[in-house]
Amino acid sequence: MEINGKTRTCGLIGCPVEHTLSPVIHNTLAAQMGHDLVYVPFPVQPGRLREAVQGADALQLSGLNVTVPYKSEVIGCLQEVDALAQTIGAVNTLVRTAGGYKGYNTDMEGLYRAMMNEGIRLAGERVIVLGAGGAARAVAHLCALKGVERVYLLNRTLERAQTVAEEVNRTAAGEVVFPLLLQDYDVIPEGTYLAIQGTSVGLSPREQEVVIADRAFYEKVHTGFDLIYNPWETTFMRLVRESGGRAYNGLKMLLYQGIIAYELWNDVHVPEETAQVVYGKLKEHFVKKQ
């Protein structure tokens, strides 16, 4: 593309940002949609987040994504926060408005679109969520919002799971989320479940690691969705598949959270064919890195 005086800039703030795939998503989208827009990652050192957000506003950056470790901290730097992002307590997308940035959370809707795309339904489903960090918290909110029957939320640190469960149950119609210690997975009643892996265990290069190694656990899983996408197939996914279940990685969640951010920045709808072109680019990029 040709960059000129009218080119709009969007970007990513976080620490680190070196390995992000977001430029592939947004620069491909800009080319496909015919927008004069460029997307650049900006590393922000701890303690400098407020300055970075103010500087971005002064430079008139149209939009930003926010990644680890700033998704919660950034809320204090914003002009306004969307109600859903406020409920989840995490913001991953900033949209520039007249008075400063407004924060949104597109991770949750991104996961939902990814699941819809794979034919995974949440309404009436029994779900196991592994983890109680930022991503798993958003997953628990999503489950309650979309009418799952119940969620067993398992975490290494029980208090964190209890906090998320209390928070979600307060906003839901009743007791939907049941917190458990990770090692107590065998108390989950017999039946078949959708299991969503939301811990950071199994991320490359420690891809042989998995939070639950017991094959008996996977007998209860009809579908496994790992939020991790690097490696392409995590040990969690392999164990689900080997027990006869369907397994998916988190690349489509990444794709759709990016697409929703792009839609907010440009006030457009990205057609599904364009989304699939971007997904193809992401996969290509991924294969190159292997």
Residues in touch with ligand NAP (CB under 6 A): 68, 107, 131-136, 155-157, 160, 198-201, 203, 211, 227-229, 250, 253-254, 257
Nearer to ligand NAP among residue 76 and residue 244 (C-beta):
76
> What is the arrangement of strands in the sheet containing 126-130, beginning at the earlier edge strand?
177-181, 150-155, 126-130, 193-197, 221-226, 246-248
Q: How far apart are CA 276 and CA 73, in angstroms?
A: 33
Helix H segments across 154-205? Answer: 158-171
Q: How far is the CB of 130 from ligand NAP (least distance, A)?
A: 8
71 is catalytic: yes
Q: How far is the CB of 162 from ligand NAP (least distance, A)?
A: 11
Q: What is the DSSP string of 236-265?
A: HHHHHHHTT-EEE-SHHHHHHHHHHHHHHH
What is the b/e burial string over 266-284, where b = at least 16 CB atoms within 10 angstroms of the residue's CB?
beeebeeebbeebbebbee
Q: How far is the CB of 12 from ligand NAP (least distance, A)?
A: 13
> Given its phi and psi angles, is residue 131 left (phi above 0), alpha (psi -120 to 50 degrees) or beta?
left
Nearer to ligand NAP among residue 177 and residue 228 (C-beta):
228
Nearer to ligand NAP among residue 57 and residue 144 (C-beta):
144
Q: How far is the CB of 238 from ligand NAP (least distance, A)?
A: 16
Nearer to ligand NAP among residue 52 and residue 161 (C-beta):
161
Q: How far is the CB of 156 from ligand NAP (least distance, A)?
A: 3
Q: Which two tokens stand for residue 141?
A: 């909110």
φ, ψ of residue 19 in degrees (nearest 5): -100, 15
Query: What are 78-85's contacts with CB under 8 Å, separation 24+?
Result: 78/53, 78/102, 78/103, 84/108
Closest CA to 211 of 109, 136, 290, 119: 136
Nearer to ligand NAP among residue 57 and residue 105 (C-beta):
105
Under a CB-based contact definition with an 8 Å cutoff, are residues 249 and 232 in contact? yes
Question: Pick the catalytic residue: 71, 220, 252, 281?
Answer: 71
Q: How far is the CB of 228 from ligand NAP (least distance, A)?
A: 5
Nearer to ligand NAP among residue 89 and residue 133 (C-beta):
133
Under a CB-based contact definition with an 8 Å cutoff, are residues 193 and 169 in contact? no
| 64 three-class SS | strand
Q: In a 10 Å sphere around its CB, with 0-12 CB exposed, 13-18 middle and 19+ buried, how is residue 32 labelled?
A: middle
The catalytic residue positions are: 71
